[in-house]
Amino acid sequence: MRNNTKIYCVGGAVRDRLLGLPVQDHDWVVVGSTPEDMVAQGFQPVGKDFPVFLHPHTHEEYALARTERKTARGYKGFAIYAAPDVTLEQDLLRRDFTINAIAQEFDDKQGGGNLIDPHNGIADLRAGILRHVSAAFGEDPVRILRAARFAARFGFSIAPETLALMRDMVDNGEVDALVAERAWQELARGLMEKKPSRFFETLRSCGALAKILPEVDALFGVPQPEKYHPEIDCGIHTLLVVDDAARHDYSLGVRFAALAHDLGKATTPKGILPRHIGHELRGVELVKKLSQRMRVPCDCRDLALLAARYHGDIHRARELRAETVIKLFQSTDAWRRPERFTQLLQVCASDARGRTGHEQDAYPQADYLLQLLAAARAVDAGEIAKQCADSGTIAAAVQRARIGAIKNLVLQ
């Protein structure tokens, strides 16, 4: 590389090190170099929109310092500009939050290098504040979702001026231009944070939740019977359920299903509130709509559909007749997908615990249904088939045997 080339560690690695958190990987900015210099040093180019390279040994990302230049073409009249004369300060000015706009010299990868903090990110780290670096924040609506995600991860508050900018972006229709795949990517990450409720609260505080997830936003302000739901509000209940799923370290699919399990309650006719008769079937249609719009992966979508439809039946497991239990197993494909059925029970357990004052409640329905499922699956369908003279009677015979197995277990 050139003699005046300098390399800096930037972004999350510097931020997390200052917070005392484990550093998973490093991002590097190279100042004073060119793509040709990088390739000559053995770096592999991978960037499409701007020059990014993989280190030949560590495979970490090294990006040339970049800024914007006015152009007749390009996004909103600007184009990304990467060249040897771009400074570190210009590069950091393009970043989203001050806490991500701190750089560290390459001298000591373990934390001994000098820190460069032109936007007072260290002070915001200490104060627990998410503050945008510049007006460039407003050019990418994904940054609203990133703000929500970092709020969920670190428990930081949003600076008033940043929250005002986020509201302006929503009011100006910037959020309407979100690409579904990128929105889902950030939603999935937000769900996987330690406190996902903060993700949705942040989106709601700037009006973005109503634009991105209107089905979820519509739950807030909808009442439920206080006898069963001391928190009353359906939106608050949903966030409690999602946080419980996170507290138990459940999978992304379970957390998404927890978010979507009660969507049907937002469409309950006002005349029957606070009861929600038939919300399960209404919820199924809303989950389908949301999943299609957000391009939700099939496994997450399918589990959410099952949770929306059957969580009420699972809560009443002890009241179900053996025939109804078998129908539940068939409808959820528990025979072939017992692992997914277990995930469905996890959603329901979080639903039961996601109520004010019930956070530590046991959920015996899960063990009960898993015992019944094991008994039903233990029925030897092959042996029954051998005893049937007519192949058309096999399915009914297996069904009777499974019902009998469940009845015997319940009577023990």
HSE-up of residue 203 (Cα within 13 Å, Cβ side): 28
Distance CA 12, CA 358 (A): 37
pLDDT at position 412, please?
A: 54
pLDDT at position 411, please?
A: 59
Q: Which residues contact 380 (CB under 8 A, 6 or more apart)?
A: none
Question: Which of residues 320 and 107 earns the better pLDDT score?
Answer: 320
Distance CA 56, CA 269 (A): 62
Question: Which of residues 342 and 42 earns the better pLDDT score?
Answer: 342
Q: Is residue 265 a contact partner of residue 251, using CB atoms and an 8 Å limit?
A: no
CA-nearest of 46, 13, 50, 45 to 28 is 13
In the chain, where does the domain assigned CATH 3.30.460.10 lie? Answer: 6-133
pTM: 0.89
What confidence category does residue 391 fall into, taking pLDDT thresholds of 50, 70 and 90? confident
Other beta carbons within 10 angstroms of residue 23's beta carbon come to 16
State pLDDT tens for residues 23-43.
Answer: 888 889 999 888 888 899 899
Residue type, 350: S
Residue type, 324: T
List, edge to edge, every strand of the sheet that includes 103-105.
Answer: 44-45, 52-54, 61-64, 27-31, 6-10, 103-105, 115-116
Over the chain, what is the mean pLDDT? 91
Q: What is the CATH number of domain 6-133?
A: 3.30.460.10
Q: Which tokens belong to 86?
A: 């771009």
State pLDDT tens for residues 189-209.
Answer: 999 999 999 999 999 999 999
Question: Which of residues 85 and 411 earns the better pLDDT score?
Answer: 85
Mean pLDDT for 107-126 is 82
